[in-house]
Amino acid sequence: MNTQTLLTGQTLTFHGDPLVQPWQDCVRIDSAGAVLLAGSRIAAVGSAAALKAAHPQAKVISYGDDLICPGFVDAHAHYPQTAMIASWGKRLIDWLNTYTFPEEARFADPDYARTIAGRYLDLTAANGTTTVASFATIHAHSVDALFEAAQMRGQCVVTGKTCMDRNAPDDLRDTVQTAYDDSKSLIGRWHGTGRAQYAITPRFSPTSTPEQLSALGALWGEHPDCLMQTHLSEQPDEVAWVAELFPEARDYLDTYEAHGLLGARGLYGHAIHLTEREIDRLAEVQGRVIHCPTSNAFIGSGALNLPQLAARGVPLGLATDTGGGSSFSMLRTMAAAYEAAQHHGGPLHSAQLMWLATAGSARSLHLHDEIGHLNAGHYADLAVLDLRSTPAIAQRANRADDVWEDVFATVMMGDDRAVRATWIGGAEITAS
């Protein structure tokens, strides 16, 4: 029999998508709520009084006025860039050549890959993140390293071998055949093992020949339950480069579609500079756009028009994009998403921001039946937020008219100090 643990506090629950319906109709905070954990799963969610009465044997952990919410889901990141986060002063292509590729070359050493994988999951857990979708490097063992580190923590992770056979340093190139063979082998070894989810991972069109894109598209066709992750329309000069490399393509998105890499299980990072056709096509196939606002600002890519994409029916997730993003914190990422939306006249409510960082990103990863909600039967992946974690936040919260103003202050000014606790698979996580 599983030992039961009852967490009491304020609880955040979702009953719909607040980007497409009034947030008041589908997001709720219970000021006297509780979450009952049994083993790795959530057993029940409801009022603290009722759950205490129904489960008197449960161990009670009181979080007072802290907010118990689903663990954050970071839908696009690069764990190999952990050590080079916040590297100064370059736009995308120069930044890749100056910082990213030299660091990723170090992952030829399996011990280094294991060190960074563990460090990355410790850093993200300290920020309340319980699930990540991350690129690895071209080295198959870099995938093993992240999945192994996650397995030790009972954690759900999405990752895949990054495939590049051109426009990259020689020591970071694979081939059409090795990209296919290595990815297929890794799928067989990891996909669906425990909580591991594999994502077929062409870095982006400029670093893959049409032949490699076609091979990976064929592999996706053979394993349609896998995810596929890549980059799309991050910067105007990148879009222009893609047009030169693929003169026959209608646009950037078409370079993926023509090779079997467009679909509902596709994760398209950034997607800032889209044409009308691309927006319509993403909405039609329900391809997931992953918003990376801290990275977009840091590298000077632009501000995604998230309100427009939401109105057009494009599914959306949220991500740090570390190390292009300058923080491991999904709170900082939510704040940046708010600021980006302001550029387009669409201020996001704190309920919408919290949904993006949890349920929205879980939906993007097709994991919404397992994570992203405080629902009975879901994995007990939780973040507990102190809504008065610093003097600056506390003095603002003390003047709040309702709890949503409290949450907004923490979203805009919070960091890892706001994370009271992180639970993954029913176990409270502490850094190793």
CATH of the domain at 400: 2.30.40.10
The count of structural domains within the chain is: 2
Q: Measured between alpha carbons, how far is 123 from 85 in angstroms, rounded to an integer?
A: 12
Q: What's the pLDDT at 191?
A: 98
Q: Measured between alpha carbons, how far is 144 from 159 in angstroms, rounded to an integer?
A: 9
**Mean pLDDT of the region 112-130:** 98
At residue 431, does pLDDT exceed 60? no
- In sequence order, which residues have a C-beta less than 8 Å from that of residue 97 and are 6 or more positions away? none
Q: Measured between alpha carbons, how far is 117 from 253 in angstroms, rounded to an integer?
A: 31
330 and 387 part of one domain: no
97 and 41 part of one domain: no
Residue matched to tokens 């591991």? 196
pLDDT one-digit tens code per residue, 168-217: 999 999 999 999 999 999 999 999 999 999 999 999 999 999 999 999 99
Give the 3-state secondary structure of 249-285: CCCHHHHHHCCCCCCCCEEEEECCCCCHHHHHHHHHH
Q: What's the pLDDT at 94?
A: 81
Please, what is the angle between helix 210-222 and helix 176-190, to 10°?
A: 20
pLDDT one-digit tens code per residue, 209-266: 999 999 999 999 999 999 999 999 999 999 999 999 999 999 999 999 999 999 999 9
Q: Measured between alpha carbons, how far is 154 from 162 in angstroms, rounded to an integer?
A: 24
333 and 396 part of one domain: no
108 and 41 part of one domain: no
Q: What's the pLDDT at 268?
A: 98
pLDDT one-digit tens code per residue, 394-423: 999 889 899 999 999 999 999 999 999 999
pLDDT one-digit tens code per residue, 56-115: 999 999 999 999 999 999 999 999 999 988 887 777 778 788 888 899 999 999 999 999
Residues of the chain above pLDDT 70, percent: 98
pLDDT one-digit tens code per residue, 380-397: 999 999 999 999 999 998
Closest to 183 (Cα-Cα) out of 155, 207, 202: 202
Q: Measured between alpha carbons, how far is 84 from 102 in angstroms, rounded to an integer?
A: 10
pLDDT one-digit tens code per residue, 279-289: 999 999 999 99
380 and 414 part of one domain: yes
Please report which helix (H) or strand (E) contains residue 396, including its range.
helix 391-397
Number of other residues whose CB lies within 10 A of the CB of residue 166: 11
3-class secondary structure, 192:
coil
By residue range, what is the domain housing residue 171? 72-364
309: left (phi over 0), alpha (psi -120 to 50) or beta: alpha
Q: Which amino acid is at 68?
A: I
177 and 310 part of one domain: yes
Task: Give the residue from 309, 343, 364 where a domain finishes.
Answer: 364
121 and 229 part of one domain: yes
212 and 282 part of one domain: yes
Which residue intervals of 167-249 are DSSP H helices? Answer: 176-190, 210-222, 236-245
Q: Is the pTM of this model over 0.75?
A: yes
206 and 342 part of one domain: yes
Exposure letters 205-229 (e unless 16+ CB within 10 A, then b)? bbbbbbebbbbbbebbeebeebbbb
Q: What's the pLDDT at 432?
A: 47
